[in-house]
Amino acid sequence: MPSADAADLTALGRRAREAARPLALASTATKDAALLAAADLLDERVADVLRANAGDVARAEAAGAPATVIDRLRLDERRVASMAAGLRDVAALADPAGQVVDGWTRPNGLRIEQVRVPLGIVGIIYENRPNVTSDAAALCVKSGNVAFLRGSSAAITSNTAIAALLREGFAKAGLPEDALVLVEDTSRESAVEFMRLRGMIDCLIPRGGRSLIEAILEHATVPYVIDGDGNCHVYVDESADLDMALSIVRNAKTSRPSVCNAAESLVVHAAVAGRALPVLAEALMADGVTLLGDDRARALVPPMGAASEDDFGREFLDLTMSVAVVDSLEDAIAWVNRYGSGHSEAIVTSSFEAAERFLREVDAAAVLVNASTRFVDGGEFGFGAEIGISTQKLHARGPMGLRELTTTKYVVRGDGQVRS
Amino acid sequence: MPSADAADLTALGRRAREAARPLALASTATKDAALLAAADLLDERVADVLRANAGDVARAEAAGAPATVIDRLRLDERRVASMAAGLRDVAALADPAGQVVDGWTRPNGLRIEQVRVPLGIVGIIYENRPNVTSDAAALCVKSGNVAFLRGSSAAITSNTAIAALLREGFAKAGLPEDALVLVEDTSRESAVEFMRLRGMIDCLIPRGGRSLIEAILEHATVPYVIDGDGNCHVYVDESADLDMALSIVRNAKTSRPSVCNAAESLVVHAAVAGRALPVLAEALMADGVTLLGDDRARALVPPMGAASEDDFGREFLDLTMSVAVVDSLEDAIAWVNRYGSGHSEAIVTSSFEAAERFLREVDAAAVLVNASTRFVDGGEFGFGAEIGISTQKLHARGPMGLRELTTTKYVVRGDGQVRS
């Protein structure tokens, strides 16, 4: 027998299911009007949102949450204005639904098209930041999907207030209010039940840490896309322009160390390590980076700490970087394929052959030559917005924009054909 | 602690992993040569294959297996020749790996391409028919993937013999023997362990009944694509050409009732039911079809049995068909969306508006106007071959050919760009 929570979630799922058909069939104009109406309401009622948010912040402070957590939770006028701007930005993007992806005519006269259509209901489990409620809903609704959202307990008051405003805005434009359904029960049990709402979630996107991913692998029965770790490498080849290498390594490591496309590991060809590594290390350490190296790296830069085997596989998400020296391009590729998490991997080189071989042989969502790993991002790729970065191989791999929130259907037109 | 079986499977998975990189990087010419060498060996050693198969057949007969099961299990010279021909056919198809799917240049000069690449290791769980060993391996290897296969215990002797021949052929052309890895432990426990070989299976494709699908939903931690039921409808609209309707309904129901793209349900507009249904029913019953209808259908065709609510949701897979009368196109669409399994749904109509509305509003992998549902098939779509038909929305939806056995990676080329 399902628990009371499961029954509640099932009722929410049924509401999402009811809303999914009208949303999938809504015109682009209606969806855009809904996003703009929601943005206007966020602007008009910023005080209501901030009042709700103050409740979450006070609870977190009373519970002794760390300052970084409270900063991520806290909204101010600027942050709410940025949520409204995000809704308007997404309204301005092209609608992926209805795009004809492929089409051909068969010898028997059947005309076959593959057409992009909304997934239906997109479930998202996320932590802390209340702006995700608005950002995720915008992408889901623009692509014709119901946003079925489950945020954290820490942000529940803020999320509830934001969701109510968005729902009101959507309804103003003629969309179902249930284009956004927010799960208000934020218990751990409800997260597991959420992952098992088969038939009520067409795609689940978790945005959280390793324990959330592990819970999904263990419990989910709904289809999901994993937005996983980024243990990204920059490999400095023997033919690298060392000024370019310095600029790219510093940017990849230090421009925003807490994000998944930041570099976590530096790999240097032995032929240039003697010249390059002391310069790179000095600059990185001046930037506040703690380096942990293998024996050969440490011999060249004695102040460097020793890296354990685990360190090479670790996504530090802070100003720490592992360093290794390799004997060849081949060893560099093997190293990256062994320790990387399949996110984003870069080579700095002036050799055409080395570049093309690295691009071909490294197995990752994105491979880059002479550019910072930090570019692997929906915005930087030109997608206009991003719902996450997939590190899995099925459905979507790499930055996910509106297109990745769709599926396709085959449309077949005939004049009476039967199969012999 | 993993069981002994799990340890064995893990060892097999490691072998598959080792083979995955060379296979992904193999040239089309090498992969084609491998398939042709395997085909030649099947031809040369047909006697060995038939001897191995005789062992499986004898065991099945001793165990009192039904004649249909034994027929599916049994190989003869013609069937082995057809497996060899299948390998040659797949060798002749275009290689999807390396195809540039999309590409653009960013304002900062970064050149971004999205390139099709092999998934890595494709796991397949399948039942009875030993030809699947060869057919599935061909598609996997052609697309640059290791075929990690787990067949049934009933066919284990045949599968082992076929796999050994294929591996020998692959090695002759310079591919790793482990381009095909066959699991010889066919216990139920090993199936569950197989579904949990995370990192050793990049995509699992189950080919089996409902209990296999349920085991995957419950236990799998590897990514998978569900090849699910087909409860397909043919809807005869008020404007349908009734001769065309008769031809399509008979073809969809009776040309091969045991397959997933066969029609299971007939839905007729009330305005034409009085004229159409007696004619359709008479022809279907003459074809040996048992009809189970709702009250309105039975009033028009009294010999028809009564359909229960469950019957309308059932994939009969035999010469049984449910029948319903609806009052409008809108009701027909709602009916199909309610009872359908999202596989293939057809309308027979002469109305442009009805056709376009059905195509747009019915939510299924394939929607057809004036054509038999039986065309929803990789071969009939022109894919050359098929690994299954996906009824899920992520990654692949509808017939899956070589393209669906690939993923993509983003390739980014720059000249020193860093992110500001």
d(CA A194, CA A220): 8
Q: Which of A26, A403, A121, A32 is nearest to B361 (CA)?
A: A26
Enter the CATH code of domain B232-378: 3.40.309.10
Mean pLDDT, range A106-120, rounded to an integer: 98
Q: B414 and A106: CB-CB below 8 Å?
A: no
Tokens encoding A378:
């929906």
Q: What is the pLDDT of residues B84-123, one digit of tens each?
A: 999 999 999 999 999 999 999 999 999 999 999 999 999 9
Distance from the B140 Cα atom to the nearest Cα atom in chain A, whole angstroms: 15
Q: Cα(A204)–Cα(A128) distance, rounded to whole angstroms?
A: 18
Cα B223 to Cα B304: distance, rounded to the nearest angstrom? 44
Nearest chain A CA: its distance from B378 CA (Å): 12
Contacts of B369 in chain A (CB under 8 A): 412-414
- Which of A412, A413, A415 is the best residue to mutate to test the B interface, defined by the most B CB atoms within 10 Å of its own CB? A412
Q: What is the pLDDT at residue A228?
A: 81
* Closest partner CB to B366 (pick from A21, A397, A409): A409
Which of B250, B375, B410 lies at the smallest CB-CB distance from A365?
B410
Binary contact (A394, B223; C-beta < 8 A) = yes
Q: Extract the tokens encoding B419.
A: 């992110």
Whole-structure pTM value: 0.94
For residue B128, pLDDT beyond 60? yes
Distance CA A84, CA A416 (A): 51
User: Is the pLDDT confidence value at A385 over 60?
Assistant: yes
Q: Write out the H or E segment, with its range, that includes residue B5.
A: helix B4-25
Chain B residues with CB under 8 Å of A19 CB are none
Q: What is the pLDDT of residue B227?
A: 84
- Residue ranges of chain A that CATH labels 3.40.605.10: 4-228+400-411
Asked if A365's CB is within 8 angstroms of B409's CB, the reply is: yes
**Would the CB atoms of A419 and B375 count as touching at under 8 Å?**
yes
How confident is the model over B38-61, as a mean pLDDT? 97
pLDDT of residue A210: 85
Q: How does DSSP assign B275-307, residue by residue?
A: HHHHHHHHHHHHTTPEEEE-HHHHHHSTTSEEP
Select the residue of A221, A225, A255 nearest B419 (Cβ to Cβ).
Answer: A255
Chain B residue whose CA is closest to A197:
B217
For the segment B289-294, the average pLDDT, to the nearest whole number, is 98
Q: Do residues A301 and A268 make contact, with C-beta atoms less than 8 angstroms apart?
A: no
Task: Determine the average pLDDT of the residues in B115-143.
Answer: 95
Are the C-beta atoms of residues B396 and A393 closer than 8 Å to each other? no
Mutate which: A375, A400, A404, vs B, most B CBs within 10 A: A375
Q: What is the mean pLDDT of residues B356-379?
A: 97
Residue-level pLDDT at B2: 41
**CA-based nearest residue to B398, from B341, B358, B347:** B341
Strands B406-417 and B111-118: antiparallel
Closest CA to A163 of A34, A43, A49: A49
- The residue whose two tokens read 């021909």 is B85
Cα distance between residue A235 and residue A336, in whole Å: 9
Closest residue by Cα to residue B235 from B384, B361, B121: B361
> In the predicted model, is pLDDT for residue B6 greater than 80?
no
Residues of A in contact with B368 (CB under 8 A): 412-414
Closest CA to A402 of A73, A35, A14: A35
Provide the pLDDT for residue A5.
Answer: 58
More confident residue, B208 or B243: B243
> Is B364 in contact with A409 (Cβ distance < 8 A)?
yes
CA distance A308 to chain B (A): 22
Do B382 and A411 lie within an 8 Å CB cutoff? no
Shortest CA distance from A262: residue in chain B: B419
- Provide the percentage of residues in chain B whose pLDDT is more than 90: 93
What's the mean pLDDT in A338-364?
A: 97
Chain B positions touching A223 (Cβ under 8 A) are 392-394
Residues from chain A that touch B116, judged by Cβ atoms under 8 A, are none
Which of A218, A252, A397 lies nearest to residue B409, judging by beta carbons? A397
Per-residue pLDDT at A371 exceeds 60 = yes
Q: Cβ A363–B119 below 8 Å, yes or no?
A: no
Pick the CATH number of A4-228+400-411 from 3.40.605.10, 3.30.2130.10, 3.40.50.300, 3.40.1830.10: 3.40.605.10
CA A342-A280-A347 angle, 5° bins: 35
- When pLDDT is cut at 50, 70 and 90, the band that residue A229 belongs to is confident
3-state helix, strand, coil in chain B (%, to 5): 45, 20, 30
pLDDT for position A1: 37
Shortest CA distance from B98: residue in chain A: A360
Contacts of B286 (CB under 8 A, 6+ apart): none
Q: What is the pLDDT of residue B209?
A: 83
- Compute the nearest-CA separation of A374 from chain B (Å): 6
Average pLDDT (B296-321) is 96
What are the counts of helices (DSSP H) followed by strands (DSSP E) for chain A?
16, 16
Is the pLDDT reported for residue A128 higher than 90? no
The ipTM is 0.94
Give one DSSP letter per residue of B106-159, joined into a string. -TTS-EEEEEEEE-SEEEEEE-S-THHHHHHHHHHHHTT-EEEEE--STTHHHH
Predicted local distance difference test score (pLDDT) of residue B5: 57
Q: What is the dihedral of CA A373, A253, A355, A240, to 10 degrees?
A: 150
Alpha-carbon gap: A185 to the closest alpha carbon of chain B (Å): 24
A-chain residues near B417 (CB < 8 A): 370-372, 375
Q: Which residues of A fall within a CB distance of 8 Å from B104?
A: 382
**B367 neighbourhood in chain A, CB within 8 Å:** 409-412
Q: Count of alpha carbons within 13 Å of A306, Cβ hemisphere only?
A: 3
In chain B, where does the domain assigned CATH 3.40.309.10 lie?
232-378
Q: Which has the minimum average pLDDT: A112-126, B71-85, B205-219, B238-252?
A: B205-219
What is the overall mean pLDDT for chain B? 95
Position A2 pLDDT exceeds 70 = no
Predicted local distance difference test score (pLDDT) of residue A4: 46
Mean pLDDT of A151-176: 97
Query: Distance between CA A10 and CA A51 in Å, rounded?
Result: 31
- Residue A23's closest CA among A133, A135, A145, A166? A145
> B100: part of which helix (H) or strand (E)?
strand B100-105
Distance in Å, alpha carbon of B404 to nearest chain A alpha carbon:
9
Q: Which positions in chain B touch A221 (Cβ < 8 Å)?
A: 217-218
Q: In what order do the strands lie in the sheet with B263-269?
A: A100-105, A111-118, A406-417, B366-371, B344-348, B232-236, B263-269, B320-326, B290-293, B305-306
Residues from chain B that touch A120, judged by Cβ atoms under 8 A, are 363, 393
| pLDDT of the residue at B108 | 97
- Residue B151: pLDDT band by 50, 70, 90 thresholds? very high
